[in-house]
Amino acid sequence: MARDKVLKERWGRLVTILSDKFSDGEDLDLDGIIYMIGVQELGQGYRKFKKDEKVNLMHIAICRLLEPLGYYEFDFFDTDGWPHYRVKEELPFLKPGEQSILMKEAIVNYFMEKEVI
């Protein structure tokens, strides 16, 4: 129970920090934060991305976020500078609420590692 409370507190603080810095007055949602992480991990700065590139950015972020948990491993950068990951361990089946908690926990850990929170 205490772990859930700590995660909720850290998540709320993180959403406030990121929304204040990158949003026009609305709180960023989970997908928005994942997208931002993908842009950060791509390392090419912000620009207009095509629809398929946006999907790829979210994939990059998810792989990076789940890498410390042992699910993915960085493999290589392609000729366009996009990172590629390989699956180390298949994700267990998770209900949507459980997926959300896993991703929020991974995002909080990512931003703690980056010393944002």
The pLDDT mean for the chain works out to 95
Task: Output the CA–CA distances (angstroms, integers) from residue 27 to 6, 24, 51, 57, 78, in the order listed.
Answer: 20, 8, 22, 20, 34
pLDDT tens-digit readout, 8-57: 999 999 999 999 999 888 999 999 999 999 999 999 987 899 999 999 99
Evaluated on CA atoms 59, 64, 69, 74, the torsion sign reads: positive
Residue 2 pLDDT class (50, 70, 90 cuts): confident
Q: Is the pLDDT of residue 1 over 70?
A: no
**What pTM, to 2 d.p., does this model score?**
0.93
